[in-house]
Structures are given as structure tokens and as C-alpha cells.
Amino acid sequence: MGGLRLWPSCLFGRDARGESLVIIQERVAGLSEAALAKFLTRARRVAGLRGAVSVLVTNSRELRALNHRFRDKNKSTDVLSFPAIPGLVQGFAGDVAISAEIAARNARRLGHTTAEEIRILALHGLLHLAGYDHERDEGEMERKEAQSRESLGLPVGLIERSGRSVRGERFTANHKNGASGRVRMPLVSPRAKASKASRRARTSR
């Protein structure tokens, strides 16, 4: 596209059958496209996300390029979510990009496998696509992520661990510093509107 800063939609392609598409560019032990696609089907249901998604598992260099292009942040990160433009592509919820390199580092620190960490990051990305935003929703996304990871049998969630430290070392420095997250639409989602209305109601009491 020659450097045009277009809003992403089906950024990594879309399955012709309308199912979720998984592209693994950086191989991870114990994780295949088919296995991750099967997990995404369950995770979408738990997250309450309608529509297919595209998930790219790649390297940190690619995450840095995407972060720079769409968020003006010239650094790598663990996971990025790109919500689809409403009404542009029927039955499509958006894209998620994951750094396999950062996932591997996180997994070593936390004592689980890189494949498990990829699933944790994928769940986090799906929740962003469903409209949750931990930077603005007063803990709603954290609670939903905790419930979802328990339903899916995953280790500690991304937001939960961001507030924890061991010997003063942050577990997921990229996420804690706000590098990862949702590429925000230039529209206010129904979930965000409801959250703002709830805050106004509490303030007026």
C-alpha cells in the first residue's frame, strides 16, 4: 500500500469460509495453526466475541512495525488488537498480532510454556476486540479476563500479572508500560458509552 496509513480491517487476511484464520510465522513448540484456531473458537465464545478473527504469531520486529504504523509507538510489544471497522466486513471482528519472542520471555519468567503464553495473549487480544479496555473500564476487563482464563484453564492473566512483581521485577514490562493493547477506533463503542454513563451516575449521587 505504499505507506498509506489506512485503518486496518482484515489486516492479515480472512478465511474464505468465514472462520478464524491463524498464521504462525514464528514457530512455537507445541502450537500449531489448527490447535490455536480450535482454542480461538472456545475463547471467542467465553469472551462473548461475535465474528471471526485473524491471529498472527510473528516476531518482535513485526510487532514494532505495526505498533509504529498504527499507534505511533516505535517499540515492540507482546500483543496488539485491531478491531474491524463496523459494517465493512460482515462476520469479522478484527485482527490480533502476537510476538512469539516476547511470549517466550514471559513464559520463562512465569514458569509455563510459550504455547500457553500465546493463548493468554490471544485471549487478551480477543477481549479488546470484544470492546473491553483495561486502561479505561475501572477493572471490568481484568475481571472478565480472570473469569475467562479460569474457564479456559489458562495460567494467570495478562492484566492480573501486570500489577504483580517478584523481587521488584515486573513480569510483563511491555504490557505494564502501556505498549500493548487495543488500537482504538475513532468511534465510542456501546460498552464504552455504558461505562461512561455508569461513572456519571455514580458521580452524581
pLDDT tens-place string over residues 126-181: 999 999 988 887 889 999 999 999 999 998 766 777 654 333 333 333 444 334 56
d(CA 189, CA 137): 12
Query: How many other CB atoms are found less than 10 A from the CB of residue 93?
Result: 22
Would you say residue 69 has pLDDT above 50? yes
> Above 70 in pLDDT, residue 42?
yes
pLDDT value at 31 more than 70: yes
Q: Does residue 192 register a pLDDT over 50?
A: no
- Of the listed ranges 21-30, 74-83, 90-99, 172-181, the least confidently predicted one is 172-181
pLDDT of 125 above 60: yes
Average pLDDT over residues 28-49: 96
Nearest to 30 by CA among 89, 94, 116: 116
pLDDT of residue 60: 97
Handedness of CA 67, 73, 43, 36 (dihedral sign): positive
Question: How do the domains of the chain map onto residue ranges?
Answer: 21-204
CATH number of 21-204: 3.40.390.30
Residue 132 in grid coordinates: 473491553
**Cross-strand pairs, 56:** 23, 97
More confident residue, 63 or 203: 63
